[in-house]
Chains A and B, each alone.
Chain A
Amino acid sequence: NAGVTQTPKFQVLKTGQSMTLQCAQDMNHEYMSWYRQDPGMGLRLIHYSVGAGITDQGEVPNGYNVSRSTTEDFPLRLLSAAPSQTSVYFCASSPWTGAQYFGPGTRLTVL
């Protein structure tokens, strides 16, 4: 099993550009989530999904969209990047109320 994979590892955007961070898992987990990690702020939940076709907002959803068309994939879309979205983004998956498995992260810089 590859576990949780994220692409790209690094990305630099200009303000106003859009992009999609990819996340995939091959463990047939129902639950998937996106976090951002910022110095002094810890990990904060952006969006999560409890299954294909179901998504919901976390603590800091503004500026981000998600969709879950398959069990395996949970992409995160930045519609119009802002410098405040400079962060490290982590995707995670877990079985229902089970242990979370994290991807390696995407380091995003918005200029």
Chain B
Amino acid sequence: KQEVTQIPAALSVPEGENLVLNCSFTDSAIYNLQWFRQDPGKGLTSLLLIQSSQREQTSGRLNASLDKSSGRSTLYIAASQPGDSATYLCAVNRDDKIIFGKGTRLHILP
């Protein structure tokens, strides 16, 4: 059974710092992995999608990497801003079942 873990559960960093969020999964036979952000009381917004054949994807200040063999993905946020404060979730797709981690709650301190 696929399990997805995100550590830490919560993180506070000063504005301007670079940071890394972690996602690990137990079954490496995945189709893809997707990172989302969720603001309080809102829906999910897709940030980056990495297909199983890819190693990384970039969008603006965000960079996501994928290492299938070790069952790990990271989301790198450069030059963090208060507007980056949100919960970040990763989700893996295997055999049409998409399993989410419980998320990392990120707080950027002004």
Contact = CB atoms under 8 A, between A and B. Distances in A.
Interface string B59-102: 00000000000000000000000000000010101001111111
Interface residues of B, number: 22
Contacts of B31: 97
Contacts of B49: 98-99
A86 B93 CA distance: 26
A88 to B, nearest CB: 9
A102 B44 CA distance: 6
Contacts, number: 55
Count class of interface residues, chain A: 20 to 34
Nearest to A4: B43
A100 B46 contact: yes
A42 B98 contact: no
Q: Which of B34, B44, B46, B99 has the most chain A CB atoms closer than 10 A to its own CB?
A: B44
Interface string B18-56: 000000000000011010100000111110010100000
B57 to A, nearest CB: 10
Interface in A39-62: 40-45, 48, 50, 56, 58-59
A104 B98 contact: no
A45 B99 contact: yes
A86 to B, nearest CB: 16
B44 A42 contact: no
Given A42-B102, A104-B43, A48 B93 contact: no
Interface of A: 31, 33, 35, 40-45, 48, 50, 56, 58-59, 90, 92, 97-105
